[in-house]
Every structure is written in C-alpha cells, then in structure tokens.
C-alpha cells in the first residue's frame, strides 16, 4: 500500500523506515497537507498526517477524487479533520490515541519548574558570569493547588507527578477518572477550579465546547499571579485575552507548548525570516512567558510508539480489519 506522509521531518523518515517494505511504501512530503498540496498524494492509497495538516471537507473531497481511502493520523488529536465529511466520502480515519502520556506530562512539569525557578534566566546569567540571585525567586510546588482541566491519559500522568510533589489536585472533566480520585484528586466545577488553583494546566481535547476555554471571563475568575500551562491544543486559549491577563498581572506565569496559530510557525526554522504574527511576537516580549514549539510529545519512546501504531493502523486498513483506533469508517 502506498502512503503519502505529509509534514514529514527527518525523525519521521527514520521512524517509519523500519516499516517500509512490500506492504507499506512511504512517500515523504515536506509540506503540510492543504488544498494546494493535496495533489502530491496522487497515486497513493492513504495519507499520513500530523497536527497542523488541514483535512477540511474540501481537502478530503480532493483526496477522495484521487482514490485516497484512509487518513492515518500520527497523533492523538483530530480537531483538524472534518470527520463528518470523511464518513460521507467513505474515507477511514484512524489515530494514535496514546503514544506516551508521560512524555507530555513530563514536559508540562518541566514548563512549571522552569517558569517557577526561572531556570532559563539563571542559565543565561551564569554563562555571562552573573551569579546574582536577584529576580530568580521561586516558590515551593509542595502544598500548592494545581487545577487540571482534562484527566485522560496525559492528565492522569501529570496528576501522578504532581501528587509526588505534594500538590493538592483539583480536576475537571466530563468523565471522572477513578484513578485520579485514588491520588486524592477532587473533581470540581470550573469556577471553583479557577478560583482556588495556584497553577492551571490544560489537558483536554479541542472541541467546539472547549475552544477559547481560557478567555477574558475565565482569566478574571482566577487567582492573581496564577500560573497557566497549555500542552494540549493552542485554541483552548484566547491569546489576546491571555496578553491582557499578563499586562494586568492576573497571569503571573505562562507556559505554552502549543499556540492557536502555530500552523504557520512551529516545526520550521524561521530564524532568517520576519514573523508577521503580532500576537505571537507580543507574547514573546513578556519575561514571565515560556514557549516551546510543540515538542512535548518529542521523546524517543513516543516517536517509536507513534510510528508503530500508525503503521499498524495502515496495515489493518490494508487487510480490512479494525484496530479500535478508528474515528470514521
């Protein structure tokens, strides 16, 4: 089966190379999947895509007309796919529901620790032979209240680490996870979570109901100086509202691994270009903001799982069997 892999990077090529044989033949395409690049999938039976590839109804129609019968997501999120259109066109969609929750959870904690103890600033100071501690004051995580919005696999992995730090856990999810409660976590309404949490971390999927979950109103309900962390999906946060919250000192720390308009920025080297995104550039001006470029998933273990499960999904499609990872069929 021929598979067109969009948004392909060196690590994707290396990861999928062990699966390339007579059953799966991968063609690697550097560009993101869009209405302009969809034609590059001609001659393939399936496309393999990542978080910023666009699979709206028009793109899916193009793929269907070329004979594409499957979309293999090499990620857990699927907000970039019009599932209704895929189902209507008879295109099967499968994802990687869990590759390494611990990878994202550990990056989440890393953002918390780096922002709190200002490790990035300390590193640069020491390299300049500046060993003064002024401006580097942090706080103990022990005893702090952390609000987790979303308690699926990644939220649970994050909760386990925070439990080890001695944090009090407040959680919110439409489905309560009994393993969270075993850690001492308590499910509360969002209003209570916002009001009582010293740190708020987002681990929920992006849906119409959760888009801009963090907005002017919710930020206004939070404690002064709250730490806000997002390693889930960028559009959970209204970036302009967050900028206002930073300016008003309502948000004391902001850690982002995702950004609402990241599709035109992340995963590329833009160091020799002028970035036109004024909102993103404004975020970078704040000394209490730390942004990483959607790398929370990026560990050896996670990449191995992603490549293996994605390949298994493709092979299952080729043999007309189910994997349990299907979103539309």
> Are both 60 and 78 inside the same structural domain?
yes
Of the candidates 69, 41, 67, the residue with the CA atom closest to the CA atom of residue 53:
41
The 10 Å CB-count burial string (b at 16+, else e) for 164-176 is eeebbbbbbbeee
Residue of 45, 203, 262, 305 marked active site: 262
Angle at 134 between CA 133 and CA 136, to 5 degrees: 70
Residue 39 in tokens = 């034609």
Distances from the Cα of 107 to the Cα of 64, 161, 185, 200, 257, angstroms: 38, 11, 21, 15, 9
> Are both 167 and 30 inside the same structural domain?
no
**CA pair distance 268, 52, nearest whole angstrom:** 12
> Are both 149 and 37 inside the same structural domain?
no
Is 294 designated active site?
Answer: yes
> Are both 41 and 146 inside the same structural domain?
no
> Are both 34 and 178 inside the same structural domain?
no
| 25-28, strands of its sheet edge to edge | 25-28, 2-5, 46-49, 70-73, 92-94, 326-328
Is 233 designated active site?
Answer: yes
Query: For every one of its 329 residues, what pLDDT tens digit does the chain have, with 9 covering 90 and above?
Result: 899 999 999 999 998 887 766 688 999 999 999 999 999 999 999 999 998 899 999 999 999 999 999 999 998 888 899 999 999 999 999 999 878 899 999 999 999 999 999 999 999 999 999 999 999 999 999 999 999 999 999 999 999 999 999 999 999 999 999 999 999 999 999 999 999 999 999 999 999 999 999 999 999 999 999 999 999 999 999 999 999 999 999 999 999 999 999 988 998 899 999 999 999 999 999 999 999 999 999 999 999 999 999 999 999 998 888 888 898 65
Distances from the Cα of 203 to the Cα of 104, 136, 158, 171, 263, angstroms: 9, 28, 9, 10, 20
> Are both 81 and 122 inside the same structural domain?
no
Helix then strand count (H, E) for the chain reads: 12, 13
Q: What is the CATH number of the domain that holds 123?
A: 3.40.50.720
Is 262 designated active site?
Answer: yes
Number of domains in the chain: 2
Q: Do 96 and 76 form a contact (C-beta atoms < 8 A)?
A: yes
| DSSP three-state, residue 72 | strand
Residue of 32, 107, 153, 294 marked active site: 294
> Are both 120 and 185 inside the same structural domain?
yes
The residue segments making up the domain with residue 176 are: 101-291
Cβ neighbourhood burial of 128 (10 Å; 0-12, 13-18, 19+):
exposed
Report the predicted TM-score, pTM, of the whole model to 2 decimal places: 0.90
Residue 139 in tokens = 């706080």
Residue of 74, 233, 260, 305 marked active site: 233
């Amino acid at each position: 089966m021929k598979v067109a892999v969009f948004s392909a990077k060196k690590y994707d090529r290396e990861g999928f190379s062990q699966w390339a044989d007579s059953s799966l033949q991968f063609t690697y395409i550097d560009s993101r999947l869009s209405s302009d690049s969809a034609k590059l999938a001609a001659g393939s039976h399936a496309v393999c895509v990542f978080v910023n590839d666009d699979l709206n109804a028009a793109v899916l129609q193009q793929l269907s007309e070329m004979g594409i019968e499957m979309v293999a997501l090499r990620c857990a999120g699927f907000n970039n796919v019009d599932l209704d259109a895929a189902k209507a066109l008879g295109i099967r969609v499968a994802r990687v529901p869990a590759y390494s929750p611990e990878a994202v959870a550990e990056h989440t904690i890393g953002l918390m620790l780096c922002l709190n103890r200002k490790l990035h600033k300390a590193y640069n100071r020491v390299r300049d032979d500046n060993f003064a501690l002024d401006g580097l004051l942090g706080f103990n995580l022990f005893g702090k209240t952390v609000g987790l919005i979303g308690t699926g696999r990644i939220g649970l992995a994050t909760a386990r680490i925070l439990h080890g730090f001695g944090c009090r856990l407040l959680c919110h999810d439409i489905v309560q996870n009994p393993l969270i409660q075993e850690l001492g976590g308590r499910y509360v309404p969002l209003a209570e979570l916002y009001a009582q949490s010293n740190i708020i971390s987002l681990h929920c999927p992006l849906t119409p109901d959760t888009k801009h979950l963090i907005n002017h109103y919710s930020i206004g309900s939070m404690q002064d100086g709250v730490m806000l962390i997002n390693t889930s999906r960028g559009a959970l946060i209204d970036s302009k509202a967050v900028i206002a919250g930073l300016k008003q000192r309502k948000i004391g720390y902001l850690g982002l691994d995702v950004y609402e308009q990241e599709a035109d920025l992340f995963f590329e080297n833009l160091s020799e270009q002028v970035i036109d995104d004024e909102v993103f550039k404004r975020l970078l001006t704040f000394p209490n903001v730390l942004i990483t470029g959607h790398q929370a998933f990026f560990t050896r273990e996670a990449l191995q799982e992603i490549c293996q499960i994605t390949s298994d999904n493709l092979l299952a499609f080729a043999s007309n069997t189910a994997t349990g990872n299907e979103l539309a069929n």
